[in-house]
Structure 1
């Protein structure tokens, strides 16, 4: 065993030969110490913003890197599995500031695929709490994205069959009926007003379960063409009652959901909202959802109880045309942050490395930076970003030999 330990030391030194870091202080995993002189270490603003703590309400993140929610299509009956424990836990082991679990349905007909996670019944809580407890044991922070897929429900996952085709055929719902997302989805039927009110209550009940599971935050999913987004956009909302027509009416369902979640989640804990800033259908020459409307609702959601605004884009129609490039969604986040400075903003969209993420923060385009694919490629994305910014991480105890060499 001593020989193995020495071998491991040699491996670490070979991979990371520069050893002029200042000794790490006794801080939690995910907290970072900069490679600076003693004089510089006394000045907090010398540490990259990406690795400075961030506090919203009673939640303090050790750094400003967020694991964006990513659907894994790996659940049966909505239950978290060993896969989810390892998937989410790996990010905590490697120091991510905040982990947001994938879109988790507030009712069974609200799943994107039959493999989605669920939080529509109390029986889902223990498995969720198991993952939460593991993340907390590593001094990590975790939230869950509360979601309803709306007209994009029932999409067939690659590895699973629909449990009941008749169920999906009759229960795919939307603000306006008959508008099929594409041929891989069922044609939705239009929600009645009482049904809308019931779904609002389901979001509140899901928030209660998230709190019982110990979640540090919840994120309401209002993006990517799912139910809330489809109410917001005139592309998919053709209603003529109190939930359609004007922007105020189209935003009514979202605001009711936010207030219901706020009333049912601990007041000291923050609420995130994820939105799509645009539908990317300007080429159609018809009314659509665009950044100007996103900026307007940002003020409304702040007043309704949202603390953090997570800005994504697209997903509402198969006719969208997206030109993706590193940081392509960051300008949308910047617009919101400039217009509603009291609202914390998350930027996301092909964030590929630490230097890019730090630049977003330094230029005050967002308060937090989220990544998805980058974490799938490398669960230690946070540690890689630290090295790119000349910063040393405090590793978990089990990996501590790395920092002591």
Structure 2
């Protein structure tokens, strides 16, 4: 791979303000043709999108929006990660309807006035040569709760945000009228008209995201929010076409995917996040689990999904999780293996998230063997399995026998602790990467 070297006064192309072009972008491996470069610092292709490395900022709720509008806080926090080498920065869970917010201070995209603040963030991320994504969702029965910034105390009787606190406890929606817990609002069971409104809202928000300039969209179907609730037989007890069987419980998600795919450009990749298990197997009752996630995952490529972001949990307060560093990553690897084993048809990449705190862990999650090679998804959605098929992609021929668990590493809390995690990881792995022009004097030595 070759790079054009800009001068310090070369402005970033298309930016509505002066900032020097980051060419190549921060976090790009400078010895990209070397076989010693780990997969973590090789490009990834998704439809018409190319990421310079395999790092993404996982969506993290900041509870800092004003009536759904992002503020300068988001410009600084999201822009800061992009500036420091993250290839894909994903804006936090953004509500497609006002009653789809988790807390009153959540990001939203249910009206046109919310486009401009998002575009400001996107423009800055693009000025750094990086890519921007947004996670769209609806909180379902976990809506209208108090911000995480509200001090909790033992014996607190409620999590509900009242109308005086900006909440809407009387207008919380869910597949079935089952509260998350006694401290949450009791939701209304959605009518078919409500369901149609939600599907249309996802489409409308996606169209606004395109106007804001986002490079990709992620549909939030995890962590016990509306689409996740619909998947689970514990929280979805409907007796119509949206409840009961696996086909019916997955219908809402499939219809949302179709609605979003229909309004975004063909070249724009579509991501979906799921909770692969709700960790309720201990009850010996039917729940959403890994086998059902495997079944769903095999359906998604033909629906136009390019990457499945694999998380777990969040749908039940009584979940029982045995936590270890790879407790979610291993499930992502299981799903990846199953999806790749399917013969014919379109293919889909996998993202892994959770407890990624070290350079070695990040490296190991995506490291590919010489047999597998480096690959991506072509514009037509099919899998490209050879470096020759993807111009500019590095083929890594190390780590014989390494079992790749995912194709993209989504990092959340570690970026809060260490905004320089990408640059520090490169240093610890011995990879020479580009630093932001303005920060070069601070480069690790």
- Does the pair score TM above 0.5? yes
Distance 1:162 1:384, change over 3 A: farther
Q: Which residue of the partner structure matches residue 295 of structure 2? A: 296
Q: Which residue of the partner structure matches residue 169 of structure 1? A: 169
Q: Is residue 400 from structure 1 mapped to residue 440 from structure 2 by the alignment?
A: yes
Counting only pairs closer than 5 Å after superposition, residues 318-397 of structure 1 correspond to structure 2 as 318-341=317-340, 342-362=347-367, 363-397=403-437
What per-residue deviation string (whole Å, max 9, x for no partner) do you get for residues 158-209 of structure 1? Answer: 45764457962321010011x1102331000100112101110000000001
What per-residue deviation string (whole Å, max 9, x for no partner) do you get for residues 93-126 of structure 1? Answer: 1101211110000000000011100000000000
Cα distance in structure 1, aligned partners of 2:255 and 2:436: 41
Cα distance in structure 1, aligned partners of 2:114 and 2:293: 33
Q: Which residue of the partner structure matches residue 124 of structure 1? A: 114
Counting only pairs closer than 5 Å after superposition, residues 6-405 of structure 1 correspond to structure 2 as 27-34=24-31, 42-43=33-34, 45-159=35-149, 162-164=162-164, 168-177=168-177, 179-341=178-340, 342-362=347-367, 363-402=403-442
Three-state SS of the structure 1 residue aligned to 2:30 is strand
Cα distance in structure 2, aligned partners of 1:274 and 1:126: 26
Distance 1:388 1:239, change over 3 A: same
Q: How much does 1:76 deviate?
A: 1.7
More helix by share: 1
> Contact 1:232 / 1:250 at 8 angstroms: preserved in 2?
yes
Cα distance in structure 2, aligned partners of 1:399 and 1:384: 13
Cα distance in structure 1, aligned partners of 2:280 and 2:309: 21
> Contact 1:114 / 1:163 at 8 angstroms: preserved in 2?
no
Distance 1:267 1:42, change over 3 A: closer
For structure 1, the residue ranges without an aligned partner over 5 or more in a row are 1-24, 35-40
Q: How much does 1:26 deviate?
A: 5.6
> Contact 2:423 / 2:435 at 8 angstroms: preserved in 1?
no
Cα distance in structure 1, aligned partners of 2:201 and 2:410: 27
Cα distance in structure 1, aligned partners of 2:57 and 2:431: 19
Cα distance in structure 2, aligned partners of 1:159 and 1:388: 34
Three-state SS of the structure 1 residue aligned to 2:168 is helix
Q: How much does 1:211 deviate?
A: 0.4
> Contact 1:114 / 1:162 at 8 angstroms: preserved in 2?
no
Q: Is the deviation greater in 298-307 or in 47-56?
A: 298-307
> Contact 2:272 / 2:308 at 8 angstroms: preserved in 1?
yes
Distance 1:33 1:248, change over 3 A: same
> Contact 2:103 / 2:167 at 8 angstroms: preserved in 1?
no
Three-state SS of the structure 1 residue aligned to 2:206 is helix
Distance 1:321 1:129, change over 3 A: same
> Contact 1:327 / 1:348 at 8 angstroms: preserved in 2?
no
**Number of residues paired by the alignment?**
373
